Structure 1
Amino acid sequence: MKNRQTVALKRVIVDYKKLDNHMLNLLVEKFPDGYDDDDIVTYRNANNEVVECIEVRTEDTAYLVKVSKRLVMAMEDYDDSDNDSGSDEETSLDTDGLESSEEE
């Protein structure tokens, strides 16, 4: 019998609006061609509403990122800007433009 230590990961539910560049980078690395139905984790929140998320893990935390059309756009924009810029500087994600485009 193997002697394994169980590491308890901290679990965090995150809306795409609160993602930083590091989290977007992890998402793009894990899902370079986007995610599909098999990647989606579904649960009911305290209001009994169905919430769909995708999971990305770091060494100590399991993040559930809420799925939305804006998340897909943010991942695509981040991936495009990452490929276009030759620098390692952190850039800020313009979520204002994403929010207004969905309302139209």
Structure 2
Amino acid sequence: MKRVIVDYKKLNKDILALLVEKYPDGYNDSDIVTFKNGHNDVIEAVEVKTEDTVYLVKISKRLADTMANYDLEE
């Protein structure tokens, strides 16, 4: 299974739909995965899975806002 790190700016509607489905009331501190990237920067992300890919979506204020407003956009 491949792992893909996704920034908010590159978030597509399919991944956003997976996030909203998995975290309908938003994510909690216990849902956050923390790791270091190749530049030794600490990254915080939430995880969603498809059949063949694990997406680690970087956390930001804009991500939370977009998830909260997702139903309004449809």
TM-score range, shorter-chain basis?
A: over 0.9
- Once residues 17 and 45 of structure 1 are traced to their aligned partners in structure 2, the CA distance between those partners, rounded to angstroms, is 18
Correspondent of 2:55 among 63, 66, 69: 63
Once the two structures are superposed, residues 17-66 of structure 1 have per-residue CA deviations (whole angstroms, 9 ceiling, x without a partner) of 11111111110000000000110000011222110000000011000000
The percentage of aligned residue pairs carrying the same residue is 62
Larger radius of gyration: 1
Higher strand share: 2
User: How many residues of Structure 1 are paired with residues of Structure 2 in the alignment?
Assistant: 74
Correspondent of 1:34 among 20, 26, 30: 26
Q: In structure 1, what is the equivalent of residue 6 of structure 2?
A: 14
- Once residues 33 and 48 of structure 1 are traced to their aligned partners in structure 2, the CA distance between those partners, rounded to angstroms, is 31
**Gap runs ≥5 in structure 2:** none
Q: TM-score, normalised by structure 1?
A: 0.67
The alignment partner of 1:52 has SS state of strand
One-letter code of the match for 2:54?
Answer: A
- Once residues 10 and 47 of structure 1 are traced to their aligned partners in structure 2, the CA distance between those partners, rounded to angstroms, is 20
**Gap runs ≥5 in structure 1:** 1-8, 83-104
One-letter code of the match for 1:37?
Answer: D
